[in-house]
Structure formats: C-alpha cells, structure tokens
C-alpha cells in the first residue's frame, strides 16, 4: 500500500500549498523546486505559498463513464478551476446540481474524501470545489 | 480566569431524506413516524463526506471568524461515534487540515452523543490550568440507523467546532457539571455496522434521568432557575424529548426553540448539542444566558452554564456560514439514493 | 546525417483479438514488415518497440527483450529498445529508429509498436490510461483522460471555436474512412446523429467521440535511402521527424484549446522537410478523441484556429477533400492499441505514398504527415514522409 506517496502530498492536497518564484513572482501548483520560466535563477528562491482555494470554473465535464471507485457518485463533475492567484488546478465539483455548473462560476476549495485503498486501507482526503455563496 | 468559547463553526451536509420516504420502503407510516418523533427530515452525507470532512469544514469556519495563530492551539479533540477509522485519529487529519500541527495534543473521543461536549470540558481544564492557550473541541457524526429500525428515521450527519480559551471570549462558560452512570440504553459493538438500543428503556432511565439530574445539579450549584436563562439547548435525539425535558425543568417553548435543530436535520449525535448551541450563538446578544445539557448513551450528561459577552458584538460571524445558512440549498433524496450514499447496499468487491 | 527510407510495413488486424497474446501480435506485425522488405532477418541491426504499458496490461516489462526473443532477433543479440510515452510511444519509437539510421549508428532497423489492452477489465484499462495524465493532480483528483479531453471540448465550444456537431463530424468522417480499411477495428459508416445520441462518456463527449480499447501491432523497416532500392521497388523517404514536449498536466497550460507541443513539432518538421501544410495531401493525426483531431488540424496549420470544425463538417478533410485526414479510419475507427498507433500511422501513409491504399487511395499523394500524441499533448511527434 503506497502510504508514503500519498502522505508526502498532504500539505498540498489538504491545504493547497504551492510555490511562488522568488524571481518572477509566478505561482505554481503543486510545489516546484524551480520555476520553468526562470530556471537557474529560481533555484533556492521558490517560496511556499498557501493558495486561498477560491476561483472560477475554467472548464468542466460531467463524467458518466466513471472509474469503479466512483460508482457511488457517478455521474459526477470535474473541473479545471482558475484560482484567484492566477493559476489553474483540477478537482471535482461538489454540492451542486450537475445541470447548474457553468464556466465562470465562483467556487471554493473544501476537503472531501478522494478515495481509499479498499475497505481496510488508508482514506485519501483532498480538495474538491463547492459553489461559493456570493 | 474566565474560560469560554472564543469561536465556533458548523457544518451540515446538504442532502436530506424524509420519514415519509423511509416509511414508504419499510411498510411503515412514515408521516406518522415523523410526527411522533417531531422530525421533518434528516441530513444525509454524500459518499465523499465523513466525520473528518464535516469536522474540517466546521473547524475551518471556526478559524476564519477569529485571528488566532495555529501555534497557540495546544489541543484538539474530535468526539464522534462514527470516526472513519477504528484506529487512527480523526483529530490528526483535522489538525493538519486547519494548519495547527505539530505542537499540540490530539485524541479522538467516543461517548455516543456527548463526545463533543466531553471535548469542551477537557479543553476547559487545559486552558484553566494554563497548560494550553486555546483548545479545539469538535462534535461530529455521520451516524447510521439499521434499515427499517426506528433510529433510521433520525440518525443523521453534521457537526460543530468550538475554540475554547480565556482571551476574547464571546461566551463565558461559567460552570460545567456532569452526571454519569453505567446505563446500557444504546450501544454498538466493534465491527457491527449498526447500533442497538433498548427501545423505550432509552427514555426515562436513560435520557431523562441523566439530562434531568445534570440540569438540576447545575442550576442548584449556580443558584438559578429556568427563568434566569434566555435559551436552553438540550440533547435532541428527536424533536420531542428535549421539549418534554425542558418543560419538566420549567423552561418554555421560546427558550427551547432556537437551539432545537433535530426537526430539520435529524439527530446529528455528537454534533447535536454543538450545532444547537451554534444556532443559539448565531443570534445571541451580549448578556444572554444559555443552559446547555448534552446526553450520551452509556450514559452521561454534560451541562454548561454560559453567558454571552460583549465581545460577541465584534465577532466576525459572517466569515463562515451560520446554521440557518447551512439549512438552505438542500436536496431531497429518495431511499435508494440514500441507501447507496450510506453504504447500505451490498456492493461487489 | 543520412537520408532514411522506409522499405517494409506490417500491420495486424486491430480490434479485440481474444485469440492472440501480446507476443503473438507483436511478432506478426514485425514479420510482415520484414517480409515486405524482402529481408531474411539477419540483416537487422536494431529494433525499437513502442509500448505504453505492458507492465500493467499483462504484467510484463522488458518488452525489448520479449520482442527480440520471439522475433528471433535475440539469437543475433541485436540491440532492442522499448520506448514509452503514453500515446506517443509508437511515434517516438519511429523517431528513435530514424535517428539510429540517420546518424549512421545502424543500417537496417525495425520499428514496431504493440499493445494488448483487452486482457484486463475496462475499468483496469481506463485506470492505466489515466496514468498518461498527471496521476497525482489530475487522475487522483477525479479527472479521467476522457474528461480532460471533454474539458478541452467544452472550453473550445465556449470560446466559439467549434460547435458540438462540428466536433462530432470527425467521428463520422473517420468511421467512413474506416469502412474502407479491412484492418480497421470498426468498419461501418455512421451518421452525425449516432454520435450525438450515443452514451455519454464525459460531457460533452459520447462513446462515439472516443477511440476504443484495442489490441494490435504495426511495424516498419528503415534503412539508409541509398540502400533502399536493393530491398523494395517502392521505398518511401522520411523527410523529417520532429518531437516535442509540454507540461504533463493539462491545467498547467495557459490555453487548452491548442497543443503547443504539436505546433512546435510541426514547425520543426516542416522546416526540416522544407515544406508547409499546403504541401501535404494525406495525414494521419491523433484522434483519440474527436476534439483532438480539430486541435491537430489547427495546430498543424491545415486550417486556421476556429475553422477546422466547419472544414471537417464540410468534407474538406475527407478523401477527396483539401487534405485527406485519417484515411485509415484514425484512432477512432482503425483502433488505438496505444503503443502501436504511432507506427500504424506510418504504415498507412507509406501505403498511400506507394499508391496501394485501394479504396482509400488519395489521388496524387506525394507528401504525407503523421501526428502522434502522448497524454493531453504532453509529448508529440510529427513525421513527414515523401515519395522517394
């Protein structure tokens, strides 16, 4: 069971920790050791930054042909969300009627179960996106 | 020092199911069941929600309403009877998700429906003794009732989180007392998917005896009567017990009303009193006095005498949803979807 | 660097090949190609095999050794290399073979591509395919390869670049072409309505917008151009072969309505070949999803951005149109055994340039282009071939 591999990403999966380049200011998710734009000049200058988790739906899809581990939830929606910090992330959309999802709608990150390694295995938690009440 | 509530947060999943729909499947008069229990509908968690996710949502709301540094939080307890793991604490996941690790103590609690208030008491002790600056106590559940059983009409999901401290307290806990005996009214053995209960034994010798004795002991020690309180929040396994109990303690319906949520969301077990109290605090004014008595089967009651402070005027309540806001935007399910969500259908593999 | 020619081609039936194991289909394509090149076998200097995931589909890694062994090449102890780049495995294997010959490192090189997908359940197969995306930040977070492409389609439509019908028309075209290809997995023409009404996969894409799970293998034999005529009457010249990369995850891109990796590989390939999009008569592009073909047609420069959809609907990418795209049926109808696809594309183009494409023949085919993609445009190979 790949316990360590999932444990390592907890700060990112639970709390959306990304990286800001100390050279050009661009923000990345997940964390990176160097900025693709600045390369060498960014080594050692990448700063940890916690993203707020708020943004707009950039694109989305309602998935019908879902993996077995999503059989209780299908059909479900997945989206690319453009966060306020300017970058995009990918996550499921929850707490919304599937026919109400629209490009541009405001969403915020919430913690939900992503899956589990079987009924006796570790449960993986991470961010999904719920509509933000204006 | 004054110890009390510095902040609070709540969460209730958005799905609902009615007693009528449950009764339809089990050949019972669901409407009558609902009337008898005074439950109009109960909350249902979606497959990707559990006590961890509900606790995190409530705790994040709690944190957003105040400016408290994670480093100052020295303890965190999650009380529930539906922790996702039998061994591996819910509390560590919550602590990580609200950014208060690693300098704190954490443990999970179980005491049927009063595990959340037990956590509040523990935090009070830690704060009062100077061992911690702030402590977090969460009561949350995604309880199950056996298919067709009376409890299926009421067992629901929800939770609330409390930040306990002595600085910037918005509601002082003047005193806490408890009343505890070995009374086997409701239980669940390890590995069993559904709890068992003693039927009407859960009434007089259990709920009423413990809540009543605890409330009376508390009021005696505080030198108060029902008239001294603006609100009373009692454990609410259905909509009827707390009303009956309150009446016998000489409280009127107005005092009960704001803290009574079970008719709308069902019995959220360890979340019940924490959510009921949150509902009261959502509209509380400085100087208001609240009597809170939780009950957990097994059995015991924790009672709290609370006075709302001036500080609540500056409290950033609007940073997180109020209980009233959580009760909007709901979606009603049919029994099949409910059973699917709650893992009551035998799946392959 | 030497000029490279293709002197032999081989291609199994694509589809659900229940009776054939992985090693059988790999060998079958290779032997056909070697035979087509009039080789005995001992002339072969090196092998390259494109394969995405035998390790997960059939629990077998070390494919280079497997194919060398069962093709008899292991007895000659020739170098045998397996290349993995998700959907671009075959195309990149082809490029490795071309580089080996062009550099003078080897003379006769066999490039194969093979995949056996149907020995596992559909769910397991999809799980494996989803590892071509960012496993940690796309797949674990609930996205699937289909939904990633669906999100591209939705954004593409949102930006007014195509309508749903235009996107679906790619499938209609490719099924029609597939009906002319005896080796294709699907050989029945369909209409637009069938595409729109077929079961939803990830909205807005339906089953008919998505390439199938397939078993199959394809192979080509390469040699220096100046040696080609000793092996075949109809050598085909590799005019250029360019490869590019991009971010693993789709969400890391600024614009998801194009694949910059395709644009970069195309630019390099056209430059190396001294040609432009207008010089291409026939192309095999990576239509693992209908939307992917529209992006490809625009990224390769065949149609301006936002016009490929109407062009396909109007028949301008059919056999007989401005440019014949996916005459084999494409990934959609010919089938998409992942590692084989990139090589299968080359086989179809060689067949066209030799004038042997029968009912699918494009009149006056002189230059052909293959476009092979891995993941959501994270790896791209563009190869341009010409009559020798």
**Same domain for B292 and B335?**
no
pLDDT, residue B318, reads 96
**Same domain for B16 and B148?**
yes
Cross-chain CB nearest to C151 (options A80, A124, A128): A80
Read off the pLDDT band of C13 (50, 70, 90).
very high
The answer to whether residue B208 is domain-embedded is: yes
Cross-chain CB nearest to A59 (options C154, C199, C205): C154
**In this structure, are strands B231-234 and B196-197 parallel, antiparallel, or unpaired?**
unpaired
Q: How far apart are CA C281 and CA C301, in angstroms?
A: 13
**Number of other CB atoms surrounding residue B5 within 10 Å:** 27
Chain B residues with CB under 8 Å of A15 CB are 96-97, 99
pLDDT, residue C72, reads 85
Chain A residues with CB under 8 Å of C249 CB are 90
Q: For residue B327, give its domain range.
A: 4-170+322-341
Q: How far apart are CA A111 and CA A134, in angstroms?
A: 20
The answer to whether residue B142 is domain-embedded is: yes
**Same domain for B264 and B331?**
no
Q: For chain B, what percent of residues have pLDDT higher than 90? A: 98
Q: How far apart are CA C316 and CA C305, in angstroms?
A: 15
Phi, psi for residue B292 in degrees, rounded to 5:
-120, 125
pLDDT, residue C75, reads 83
Q: How far apart are CA C353 and CA C228, in angstroms?
A: 15
Chain A residues with CB under 8 Å of C203 CB are 61-64
**Tokens representing residue B200 in the block:** 């009407």
Scanning C309-328 for CB atoms below 8 A from A yields none
pLDDT, residue B329, reads 86
**Same domain for B145 and B23?**
yes
**pLDDT single digits (tens) B178-231:** 999 999 999 999 989 899 999 899 999 999 999 999 999 999 999 999 999 999
Q: Which residues pair with C7 in a beta bridge?
A: none
**pLDDT single digits (tens) C351-380:** 999 999 999 999 999 999 999 999 999 999
The answer to whether residue B156 is domain-embedded is: yes
**Same domain for B158 and B12?**
yes
* Mean pLDDT across C136-156: 97
* Mean pLDDT across B69-96: 97
**Tokens representing residue B239 in the block:** 């909509």
Chain B residues with CB under 8 Å of A123 CB are 50, 52, 84-85
Q: How far apart are CA C285 and CA C18, in angstroms?
A: 27
**Same domain for B240 and B129?**
no
Residue B275 near residue B266, CB atoms below 8 Å: no
Question: Would you call B53 and A114 a contact, using CB atoms and an 8 Å cutoff?
Answer: no
Q: Read off the CATH number of the domain in which B231 is found.
A: 3.40.47.10
**pLDDT single digits (tens) A66-103:** 999 999 999 999 999 999 999 999 999 999 999 999 99
B49 touches chain A (CB under 8 A): yes
**pLDDT single digits (tens) C185-213:** 999 999 999 999 999 999 999 999 999 99
**pLDDT single digits (tens) C174-188:** 999 999 999 999 999
Four-CA torsion A16, A8, A92, C130, nearest 10 degrees: 140
Question: Would you call B52 and A111 a contact, using CB atoms and an 8 Å cutoff?
Answer: yes
Please say if the pLDDT value at position B250 is more than 90: yes
- Average pLDDT over chain B reads 97
Chain A residues with CB under 8 Å of B46 CB are 73, 94-95
* Cis, bond preceding A25 (omega within 30 deg of 0): no
**Same domain for B247 and B305?**
yes
Catalytic residues of B: 81, 113, 235
**Tokens representing residue A21 in the block:** 């380049």
Task: Give a three-class secondary structure readout of C207-230.
Answer: HHHECCCCEEEEEEEEEEHHHHCC
Give how far C100 is from chain A: nearest CA, Å: 31
**Same domain for B299 and B180?**
yes
The answer to whether residue B139 is domain-embedded is: yes
Give how far A28 is from chain B: nearest CA, Å: 20
Within 13 A of C290's CA, how many CA atoms are on the CB side?
A: 35
Read off the pLDDT band of B319 (50, 70, 90).
very high
Q: For residue B153, with 0-12 CB atoms within 10 Å meaning exposed, 13-18 middle and 19 or more buried, which class applies?
A: buried
pLDDT, residue B330, reads 95
The answer to whether residue B317 is domain-embedded is: no
Q: Which residues pair with A61 in a beta bridge?
A: A78
* Chains touching B, CB cut-off 8 Å, 3+ pairs: A
Cross-chain CB nearest to A110 (options B57, B85, B341): B57
With a CB cutoff of 8 Å and minimum separation 6, the contacts of A73 are A66, B46, B47, B48
Q: How far apart are CA A119 and CA A123, in angstroms?
A: 9
Please say if the pLDDT value at position B63 is more than 90: yes
C206 by DSSP, 3-state: which? strand
In Å, what is the CA distance from B117 to each residue of B30, B71, B294, C2, C50?
32, 23, 7, 81, 62
- Average pLDDT over chain C reads 97
Question: What's the angle, vertex CA B67, arms to CA B63 and CA B68, rounded to 5?
Answer: 75
Please say if the pLDDT value at position C74 is more than 90: no
**Same domain for B145 and B236?**
no
Read off the pLDDT band of A1 (50, 70, 90).
low
**Same domain for B184 and B279?**
yes
Read off the pLDDT band of A134 (50, 70, 90).
low
Task: Give a three-class secondary structure readout of C269-300.
Answer: HHHHHCCCHHHCCEEECCCCEHHHHHHHHHHC
Comparing CA positions, the residue from C55, C345, C383 lying closest to residue C239 is C383
pLDDT, residue C378, reads 98
Question: What's the angle, vertex CA C149, arms to CA A83 and CA C293, rounded to 5?
Answer: 130
A&B contacts, CB < 8 Å: 52
The answer to whether residue B348 is domain-embedded is: no
* CA-CA-CA-CA torsion sign (B97, B98, B103, B109): negative
pLDDT, residue C328, reads 98
The residue extents of the domains of chain A are 52-108
What is the domain count for chain B?
Answer: 2
A114 touches chain B (CB under 8 A): yes
Q: Domains of chain C (ranges plus CATH)? A: 4-121+214-236 (3.40.47.10), 133-211+238-387 (3.40.47.10)
* Sheet-wide strand order for A17-21: A27-28, A17-21, A46-50
If you ran DSSP here, which 8-state letter would residue B170 be given?
Answer: S
pLDDT, residue C71, reads 87
**pLDDT single digits (tens) B25-62:** 999 999 999 999 999 999 999 999 999 999 999 999 99
Read off the pLDDT band of A118 (50, 70, 90).
confident
**Same domain for B28 and B154?**
yes
Nearest CA in chain C to A114: C141
Chain B residues with CB under 8 Å of A113 CB are 47-50, 52-53
The answer to whether residue B346 is domain-embedded is: no
pLDDT, residue C114, reads 96
pLDDT, residue B240, reads 96
- Choose from A63, A92, A112 for mutation: most chain B CBs within 10 A: A112
C17 touches chain A (CB under 8 A): no
Read off the pLDDT band of B1 (50, 70, 90).
confident
pLDDT, residue A133, reads 75
* Mean pLDDT across A21-47: 95
- Residue B266, by phi and psi: left (phi above 0), alpha (psi -120 to 50) or beta? left
**pLDDT single digits (tens) C260-291:** 999 999 999 999 999 999 999 999 999 999 99
**Same domain for B91 and B139?**
yes
């Amino acid at each position: 069971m790949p316990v360590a591999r999932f444990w390592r990403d907890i700060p990112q999966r639970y709390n959306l920790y990304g990286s800001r380049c100390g050279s050009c200011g661009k923000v990345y998710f997940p964390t990176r050791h160097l900025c693709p734009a600045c390369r060498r000049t960014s080594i050692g200058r990448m700063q940890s930054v916690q993203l707020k988790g708020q943004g707009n739906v950039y694109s989305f899809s309602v998935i019908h042909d879902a993996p077995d581990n999503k059989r209780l939830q299908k059909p479900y929606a997945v989206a690319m969300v453009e966060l306020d910090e300017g970058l995009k992330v990918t996550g499921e959309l929850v707490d919304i009627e599937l026919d109400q999802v629209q490009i541009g709608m405001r969403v915020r990150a919430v913690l939900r179960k992503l899956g589990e390694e079987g009924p006796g295995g570790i449960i993986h938690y991470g961010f999904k996106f719920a509509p933000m009440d204006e | 020092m004054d110890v009390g509530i510095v902040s609070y947060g709540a969460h209730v999943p958005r799905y609902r199911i009615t007693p009528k729909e449950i009764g339809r499947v089990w050949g019972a008069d669901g409407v009558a069941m609902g009337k008898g229990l005074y439950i109009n509908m109960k909350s249902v968690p979606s497959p990707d929600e559990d006590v961890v996710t509900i606790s995190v949502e409530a705790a994040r709301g709690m944190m957003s309403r105040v400016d408290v540094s994670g480093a100052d939080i020295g303890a965190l307890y999650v009380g529930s009877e539906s922790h996702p793991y039998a061994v591996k604490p819910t509390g560590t996941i919550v602590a990580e998700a609200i950014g208060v690790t690693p300098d704190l103590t954490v443990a999970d609690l179980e005491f049927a429906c009063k595990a959340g208030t037990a956590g509040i008491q523990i935090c009070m002790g830690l704060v009062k003794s100077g061992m911690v600056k702030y402590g977090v106590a969460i009561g949350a559940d995604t309880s199950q009732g056996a298919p067709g059983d009376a409890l299926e009409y009421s067992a629901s999901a929800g939770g609330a989180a409390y930040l306990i401290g002595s600085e910037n307290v918005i509601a002082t806990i003047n005193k806490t007392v408890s009343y505890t005996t070995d009374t086997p009214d409701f239980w669940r053995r390890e590995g069993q998917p559904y709890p068992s209960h003693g039927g009407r034994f859960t009434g007089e010798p259990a709920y009423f005896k413990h809540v009543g004795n605890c409330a009376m002991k508390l009021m005696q020690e505080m030198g108060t009567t029902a008239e001294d309180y603006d609100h009373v929040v009692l454990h609410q396994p259905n909509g009827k017990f707390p009303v009956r109990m309150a009446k016998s303690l000489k409280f009127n319906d107005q005092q009960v009303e704001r803290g009574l949520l079970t008719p709308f969301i069902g019995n959220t077990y360890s979340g019940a009193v924490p959510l009921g109290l949150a509902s009261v605090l959502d509209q509380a004014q400085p100087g208001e006095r609240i009597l809170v008595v939780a009950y957990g089967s097994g059995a015991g009651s924790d009672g709290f005498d609370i006075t709302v402070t001036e500080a609540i005027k500056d409290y950033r309540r609007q940073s997180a949803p109020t209980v009233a806001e959580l009760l909007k935007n709901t979606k009603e399910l049919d029994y099949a979807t409910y059973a699917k969500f709650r893992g009551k259908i035998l799946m392959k593999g | 660097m030497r000029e490279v020619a293709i002197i032999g081609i081989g291609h199994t039936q694509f589809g659900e090949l229940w009776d054939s194991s992985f090693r059988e289909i790999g060998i079958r394509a290779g032997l056909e190609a070697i035979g087509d090149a009039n080789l005995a076998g001992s002339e072969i200097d090196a092998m390259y095999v494109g394969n995405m995931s035998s390790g997960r589909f059939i629990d077998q890694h070390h494919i280079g050794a497997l194919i060398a062994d069962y093709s008899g090449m292991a007895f000659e102890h020739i170098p045998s290399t397996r290349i993995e780049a998700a959907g671009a495995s075959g195309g990149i294997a082809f490029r490795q073979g071309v580089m080996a010959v062009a550099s003078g490192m080897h003379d006769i090189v066999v490039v194969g591509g093979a995949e056996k997908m149907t020995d596992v359940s559909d769910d397991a197969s999809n799980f494996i395919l989803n590892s071509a995306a960012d496993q940690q930040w796309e797949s674990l977070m609930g996205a699937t390869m289909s939904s990633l492409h669906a999100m591209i389609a939705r954004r593409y439509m949102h930006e007014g670049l195509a309508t749903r019908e235009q996107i679906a028309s790619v499938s209609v075209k490719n099924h029609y072409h597939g009906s002319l290809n005896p080796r294709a997995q699907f050989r029945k023409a369909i209409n637009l309505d069938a595409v729109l009404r077929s079961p939803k996969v990830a909205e807005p894409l339906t089953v008919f917008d998505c390439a199938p799970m397939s078993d199959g293998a394809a192979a080509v034999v390469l040699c220096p151009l100046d040696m080609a005529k000793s092996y075949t009457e109809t050598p085909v010249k590799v005019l250029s072969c360019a490869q590019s990369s991009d971010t693993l995850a789709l969400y890391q891109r600024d614009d998801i309505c194009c694949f910059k990796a395709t644009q970069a590989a195309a630019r390099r390939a056209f430059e190396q070949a001294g040609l432009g999009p207008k010089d291409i008569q026939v192309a095999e592009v990576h239509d693992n999803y209908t939307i992917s073909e529209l992006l490809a047609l625009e990224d390769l420069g065949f149609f301006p951005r936002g016009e490929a959809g109407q062009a396909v609907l109007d028949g301008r990418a059919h056999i007989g149109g401005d440019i014949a795209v996916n005459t084999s049926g494409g990934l959609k109808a010919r089938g998409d055994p992942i590692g084989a696809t990139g090589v299968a594309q080359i086989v179809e183009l060689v067949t066209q340039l030799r004038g042997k494409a029968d009912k699918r023949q494009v009149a006056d085919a002189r230059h052909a282009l293959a476009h092979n993609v891995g993941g959501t445009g994270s790896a791209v190979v563009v190869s341009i071939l010409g009559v020798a």
